[in-house]
Amino acid sequence: MADVLTVEQRRLNMSNIRGRDTKPEMVIRRGLHARGLRYRLQDRSLPGRPDLVFPKDHAVVLVHGCFWHGHTCPMFRLPGTRPEFWMAKINANRARDTRASEALAMQGWRVLTIWECSLRGTARWPVEDLLDASVAFIRGDTLHLEIAGHWP
């Protein structure tokens, strides 16, 4: 399938995609802050530069987009244009995510991964329930948790 945009238009679209302060990340940040939790953002000293770091609770939160991190949910669809390139890129992202999570665990950090599909689409969680689950993880002692959409 041919791309419907010119090379310049596609380049502009792709350059506008953010790596931080995304809508899902901002929902989580605002909700957790309103619940009294304080955190650091994008700590470069930690593997994978987690989105939210809770030093007091020794927990980190990663907010992953389903497309960019290759989540196996209905929100992920491989583009028809240059599928080999995209599959290689997404697989490299998955491998990097795995390495970062393992390195964080080796350093004693507890890792919560929140997928975009838990906040968007037909299978999304109610925001209050998602925030409750996040707070329970951060304040608890579970080592690893992934929150994704409720798929039938």
Does domain 22-147 fall into CATH 3.30.565.10?
Answer: no
Cα torsion 39, 42, 44, 45 to 10°: value is: 30
pLDDT at 116: 94
What would the pLDDT profile of 27-85 be if each residue is shown by its tens digit? Answer: 999 999 999 999 999 899 999 999 999 999 999 999 999 998 999 898 888 888 888 99
* CA dist list (Å): 26 to 22, 32, 83: 6, 10, 30
pLDDT at 68: 87
The model's pTM is 0.86
What would the pLDDT profile of 73-98 be if each residue is shown by its tens digit? Answer: 988 888 888 889 999 999 999 999 99
Q: Nearest Cα to 149, choosing from 77, 76, 61? A: 76
User: What residue spans define the domains of the chain?
Assistant: 22-147
